[in-house]
Amino acid sequence: MANELETIRQIAKASLMPDFFGARIDEEGLWPLLRQLLAGIQPAASGGTIDTFKRIAGGAATATDFIEKVKGAKLWPELKELVIRIQTT
Protein backbone atom coordinates (compact mmCIF):
# COMPACT_ATOMS: atom_id res chain seq x y z
CA MET A 1 0.00 0.00 0.00
CA ALA A 2 2.91 2.37 0.65
CA ASN A 3 4.01 2.13 -2.99
CA GLU A 4 0.50 2.87 -4.23
CA LEU A 5 0.19 5.84 -1.84
CA GLU A 6 3.47 7.23 -3.11
CA THR A 7 2.21 6.82 -6.69
CA ILE A 8 -0.97 8.73 -5.79
CA ARG A 9 1.13 11.49 -4.22
CA GLN A 10 3.40 11.72 -7.27
CA ILE A 11 0.40 11.90 -9.60
CA ALA A 12 -1.08 14.70 -7.46
CA LYS A 13 2.20 16.64 -7.47
CA ALA A 14 2.50 16.31 -11.25
CA SER A 15 -1.14 17.21 -11.91
CA LEU A 16 -1.60 20.83 -12.85
CA MET A 17 -5.14 20.06 -13.97
CA PRO A 18 -7.65 17.98 -12.02
CA ASP A 19 -8.71 16.04 -15.12
CA PHE A 20 -5.17 14.70 -15.50
CA PHE A 21 -5.23 13.52 -11.87
CA GLY A 22 -8.56 11.72 -12.28
CA ALA A 23 -7.57 10.06 -15.54
CA ARG A 24 -4.21 8.87 -14.18
CA ILE A 25 -5.75 7.51 -10.98
CA ASP A 26 -8.26 5.56 -13.08
CA GLU A 27 -5.57 4.35 -15.51
CA GLU A 28 -3.37 3.13 -12.66
CA GLY A 29 -6.31 1.38 -10.95
CA LEU A 30 -5.81 3.45 -7.80
CA TRP A 31 -9.34 4.76 -7.32
CA PRO A 32 -10.40 2.10 -4.77
CA LEU A 33 -7.31 2.87 -2.66
CA LEU A 34 -7.78 6.64 -2.89
CA ARG A 35 -11.44 6.31 -1.89
CA GLN A 36 -10.41 4.09 1.03
CA LEU A 37 -7.79 6.62 2.14
CA LEU A 38 -10.26 9.49 1.98
CA ALA A 39 -12.85 7.50 3.94
CA GLY A 40 -10.30 6.77 6.66
CA ILE A 41 -9.29 10.37 7.34
CA GLN A 42 -10.44 11.48 10.78
CA PRO A 43 -10.62 15.29 10.86
CA ALA A 44 -10.45 17.16 14.16
CA ALA A 45 -13.80 18.81 13.45
CA SER A 46 -16.66 17.53 11.36
CA GLY A 47 -18.48 19.39 8.62
CA GLY A 48 -15.40 20.64 6.80
CA THR A 49 -13.76 20.07 3.45
CA ILE A 50 -12.66 16.54 4.33
CA ASP A 51 -16.26 15.55 4.99
CA THR A 52 -17.18 17.00 1.60
CA PHE A 53 -14.47 14.88 -0.06
CA LYS A 54 -15.71 11.79 1.76
CA ARG A 55 -19.29 12.42 0.66
CA ILE A 56 -18.28 13.04 -2.95
CA ALA A 57 -15.98 9.99 -3.02
CA GLY A 58 -18.71 7.77 -1.58
CA GLY A 59 -20.97 8.55 -4.52
CA ALA A 60 -18.36 8.40 -7.28
CA ALA A 61 -17.86 5.27 -9.37
CA THR A 62 -14.51 6.41 -10.79
CA ALA A 63 -11.79 8.91 -10.01
CA THR A 64 -12.84 10.87 -13.10
CA ASP A 65 -16.39 11.13 -11.74
CA PHE A 66 -15.01 12.16 -8.35
CA ILE A 67 -12.81 14.85 -9.91
CA GLU A 68 -15.72 16.27 -11.91
CA LYS A 69 -17.65 16.72 -8.68
CA VAL A 70 -14.61 18.18 -6.88
CA LYS A 71 -14.17 20.65 -9.74
CA GLY A 72 -17.84 21.58 -9.48
CA ALA A 73 -17.33 22.35 -5.80
CA LYS A 74 -14.16 24.32 -6.68
CA LEU A 75 -12.08 22.21 -4.28
CA TRP A 76 -9.28 20.92 -6.54
CA PRO A 77 -6.44 22.86 -4.81
CA GLU A 78 -7.59 21.59 -1.42
CA LEU A 79 -7.82 17.99 -2.65
CA LYS A 80 -4.38 18.14 -4.24
CA GLU A 81 -2.83 19.48 -1.04
CA LEU A 82 -4.64 16.86 1.07
CA VAL A 83 -3.52 13.97 -1.16
CA ILE A 84 0.08 15.13 -1.06
CA ARG A 85 -0.04 15.28 2.74
CA ILE A 86 -1.84 11.98 3.51
CA GLN A 87 0.10 9.92 6.02
CA THR A 88 -0.64 6.30 6.84
CA THR A 89 0.33 4.38 9.92
Domain ranges of the chain: 2-85
Specify the pLDDT at position 18.
96
Q: At what angle do helices 63-72 and 18-27 cross, to 10 degrees?
A: 160
- For 13-54, what is each residue's pLDDT tens digit? 999 999 999 999 999 999 999 999 999 988 777 778 999 999
14-48 as b/e: b if 16+ CB within 10 A:
ebeebeebbbbbbeeebbebbbebbeeeeeeeeee
- Whole-model pTM: value is 0.86
pLDDT band of 89, cuts 50, 70, 90: low
Report the mean per-residue pLDDT for the chain.
92
What is the distance between the alpha carbons of residues 8 and 22, in angstroms, rounded to a whole number? 10
Q: In this model, does residue 2 exceed pLDDT 90?
A: no
